Amino acid sequence: MPTDYLWSIAGIAIVILLISILLYIASRYRRCPSDQILVIFGSMVGNQTSRCIHGGGTFVLPLVQDYCYMSLTPMTITIPLENALSMQNIRINVPSTFTVGISTDPTIMHNAAERLLRLMPKQIEQMAQEIIFGQLRLTVASLTIEQINQDRERFLDAIRKNVEPELNKIGLYLINVNITDITDSSLYIESIGKKAAAEAVNTAKVDVAEQDKNGAIGEAQAGREKAVRVAENMAEAKKGQKKAEADMRIYLRQQETLAAVGEVEADREKTIRTAENEATAEKGQKKAEADKRIFIQQQEAEAVKGEKKAQSEQRIYVQEQEALAVSGENKAKADIAAAEALLAMRQAEALQKGEVAKRQAEVEIQKAQYLAEQQRLNALEIVRQEIDKQKVEIEAEAIAEKTRREAKGQADAILAKYEAEAKGIRQVLDSKAAGYESLVKSCNGDAKAASTLLMIEKLEEIVGKQVEAIKNLKIDKITVWDSGSDKGSSTSQFLSSMIKAIPPLQDLAQMAGVQLPEYLGKMVDNKEVAKEEPKPAPSGGYVNVQHKGQDKK
C-alpha cells in the first residue's frame, strides 16, 4: 500500500477514537436541575458513603460509581390528630396540615441520601406522618388549652422546635404548619369563648349604665337650673336657700350613684379574681396529680425491670451450676473405677457451690427488692411533700391577694366618705355665708341689726334651755338647812340664788354684744331688788321645804 493511504487511515482512526472518547466522557457528565438533588454513590473519597449536589453538574466514574436523583418538590401531609391529651388532662382534636420537603442543607441532604434514596413519595409521606404524629402529641401535652387556643404563634413555634429536629434526622425539613381548627369533646374551648363573650356583654352593659347615669345627671342639672331661675323670679330673698338645697340633693344623689357603681364593680372584680384563683389552684393540683402518677408508674416499672433482671440472672446462674454439676458427675462416673473417693469429694464440692450460689442469688434478689421498695417510698414521700408545698404556696398567695384587695377597697371607701363629708360641710358653710350676706344686705349693711335679728330667732331655743335646766328638779325632795342667822332666811336665799343661777335674756344678749328691744324688758338695778329681799326665818331652826303642803320645820 502507498504510504499516504496508510497515514490517512491512521488519521481517520485517531479522529474516530477521539470522538468516541469525547462522546463517552460527555455521556458520563451528569447535570443537576434546580428542583432535584443529584446523589452520587459507590467508590467515594474518604469515609463518605455518597456525595450530594444541588445545581451544576459533575462526572460520574464508570463501573465504580452510579447516580440517582431525589426530588425537592414539597409534600403536603394531613395530620388528623384526635383525642390528644393536654397538660390539663383534657383531650382535644388538633387537625393540621404540614408541608415538608428534602432540604438543600449539606447535612440534611446527606441524611436524605442515606434514608430516603429510591423511596416512593407515599413511603416518605408515611414515614414523616408517623414522626409528626408523635411529636405533635408531645407538644400538645406540654401546653394548656389556653396557650394552644389563644397564643397560636407560641403553639406553632413549639411544634417547630419538636417536629423539625426529628424530620432533619431522615433528611426532611419543615416548610409550613397550618392548624385548621381546635376542638374538644368536653366543650372547654367553647366555654372559654362564651366566657369572653359574656365579659364583653357585661362591659357594654356597664358603658350603657354609665351613659344613662350621665343623662340622668344632665337631666337633674337642667331641672336644677330651671328651679333656680324660677326661684329667682318668684322671690329674690329665697334664692340662696333654694339653690343650696338643690345643690345638696344633686350632690347626695351623685355620691349614692358613684357608691352603687363602685360596689357593683368591686363585687364583679372580686368574683372574677376568686374564679381565676380557684381555676389556677385546680390546674396546679391536677398537674401535680398527673406528675405524681407518672413518677410512680416510672418507679414501679424500674422496680419490675430490676426484679425481672435479677430473676433472669439467677436462673442463668443456677443452670450454669447445674451444667457444671452434671459435667462433674459424668466425669466422676467415667473414672469411678479409678477413684470412688475422688468422685464423692467432687460431688460434695459441686453441691456446696450450687447451694452457696443459690443463697447468694437469693440475697441479691432481696437487696434489689429492698432498694426498689425504698426508692418507691421515697418517691411517694417527695411527691406528697411537693404537693403540700404547692398547696401552702397557693393558699398563701390567695390569702395575700384577698387581704390586699380588701384593704384597698376599705381605703377607697373611707377616702370617698371623708371627701363627701368635706364637700357637704363646705357647701353648708357656703350656703350659710350666702344667707348671712343676704341678711346684712336686707338690713342696709347694718351688721349689728342683722345679729340682733339672729339673736331674736334663737330666743325661743335659749328660753327652752333655761327651762330644761330646772324642769326635772323635784322640789319635794330638796332639804335646806337654815342656820338661823340674822342676815336672812336660808330658804329664801336658796330660792333666789337658784333663780339667779339661770342667766337672764338681757345678760345673754349683752354678752353676745346685742341690745334687745325694750318690749322684751330691761335690766333692773340691784338696789331695787335688794329692797324686796325676803325676811329671814326665826333663828335657831331649820326649814325643810316640801311640796304639796308638807310641813315646814
Does one domain contain both 342 and 419?
yes
When pLDDT is cut at 50, 70 and 90, the band that residue 373 belongs to is: confident
Establish if 287 belongs to a structural domain: yes
Query: 18-27, 44-53, 295-304, 458-467: which has the minimum mean pLDDT?
Result: 458-467
Show the CA angle centred on residue 54, arms to residues 51 and 60, nearest 5°: 45
What is the reported pLDDT for 305? 77
Separation of first and last alpha carbons in the chain = 198
Establish if 446 belongs to a structural domain: no
Does one domain contain both 140 and 87?
yes
Establish if 414 belongs to a structural domain: yes
Helix (H, G, I), strand (E, B) or coil at 142: coil
Average pLDDT over residues 379-394: 84
Does one domain contain both 312 and 401?
yes
Question: How many angstroms separate the CA atoms of 479 and 483, rounded?
Answer: 13
When pLDDT is cut at 50, 70 and 90, the band that residue 131 belongs to is: very high
Can you give the length of the chain in residues? Answer: 553
Does one domain contain both 406 and 481?
no
What is the reported pLDDT for 6? 77
Does one domain contain both 24 and 96?
no
What is the reported pLDDT for 128? 92
Average pLDDT over residues 253-276: 80
Does one domain contain both 62 and 83?
no
What is the reported pLDDT for 222? 81
pLDDT greater than 90 at residue 100: yes
Q: Which range marks the domain in which residue 47 is found?
A: 3-69
DSSP 8-state symbol, 540? T
Does one domain contain both 402 and 277?
yes
Amino acid letter for position 70: M
Average pLDDT over residues 446-474: 71
Does one domain contain both 168 and 255?
no
Establish if 485 belongs to a structural domain: yes
Average pLDDT over residues 40-53: 80
Instruction: State the residue for C-alpha cell 428542583.
Output: 35
pLDDT, tens digit, for every residue of 172-215?
989 999 888 788 776 776 677 777 677 777 788 787 877 887 88
Distances (CA, A) of 178 to 74, 100, 142, 532: 15, 12, 19, 118
Considering only residues 490 and 137, tell me which one the structure prediction assigns the higher pLDDT: 137
pLDDT, tens digit, for every residue of 339-361?
676 666 777 777 888 788 788 87
CB-based contact 247:220 (threshold 8 Å): no
Distances (CA, A) of 268 to 203, 214, 220, 273, 524: 11, 21, 28, 9, 74
Question: How many angstroms separate the CA atoms of 313 and 44, rounded?
Answer: 47
Establish if 50 belongs to a structural domain: yes
Nearest to 26 by CA among 63, 65, 66, 62: 62
Distances (CA, A) of 407 to 118, 277, 413, 527: 73, 18, 10, 71
Helix (H, G, I), strand (E, B) or coil at 351: helix
pLDDT, tens digit, for every residue of 518-531?
655 565 555 444 44
Question: How many angstroms separate the CA atoms of 175 and 166, rounded?
Answer: 14
Average pLDDT over residues 97-109: 90
When pLDDT is cut at 50, 70 and 90, the band that residue 366 belongs to is: confident
What is the reported pLDDT for 547? 39
Considering only residues 78 and 536, tell me which one the structure prediction assigns the higher pLDDT: 78
Does one domain contain both 315 and 349?
yes
What is the reported pLDDT for 458? 73
Establish if 16 belongs to a structural domain: yes
* Last residue within a domain, chosen from 69, 91, 106: 69
Q: What is the DSSP string of 92-127?
A: EEEEEEEEEEE--SHHHHHHHHHHTTT--HHHHHHH
What is the reported pLDDT for 454? 74
Instruction: State the residue for C-alpha cell 414515614.
Output: 127
Does one domain contain both 385 and 255?
yes
What is the reported pLDDT for 237? 66
Establish if 427 belongs to a structural domain: yes
Average pLDDT over residues 261-274: 80
Average pLDDT over residues 7-32: 81
User: SS3 string of 189-210?
Assistant: HHHHHHHHHHHHHHHHHHHHHH
Q: Which three cell numbers stand for residue 546?
A: 316640801
pLDDT, tens digit, for every residue of 448-457?
777 777 777 7
Question: How many angstroms separate the CA atoms of 420 and 413, rounded?
Answer: 11
Burial 311-336 (b: 16+ CB within 10 A, else e): eeebeebeeebeeebeebeeebeeee
* Last residue within a domain, chosen from 168, 189, 210: 189
* Last residue within a domain, chosen from 69, 86, 106: 69
Does one domain contain both 390 and 507?
no
Residue 507 Rama label (left phi>0; alpha psi -120 to 50; beta): alpha
Establish if 390 belongs to a structural domain: yes
Q: What percentage of the chain reaches a pLDDT higher than 70?
A: 78
Considering only residues 194 and 108, tell me which one the structure prediction assigns the higher pLDDT: 108
**Counted domains in the chain:** 4
Does one domain contain both 135 and 267?
no
Average pLDDT over residues 314-327: 73
State the pTM of this model. Answer: 0.35
- Judged on CB neighbours under 10 Å (0-12, 13-18, 19+), 148 is buried
When pLDDT is cut at 50, 70 and 90, the band that residue 487 belongs to is: low
pLDDT greater than 50 at residue 410: yes
pLDDT greater than 90 at residue 114: no
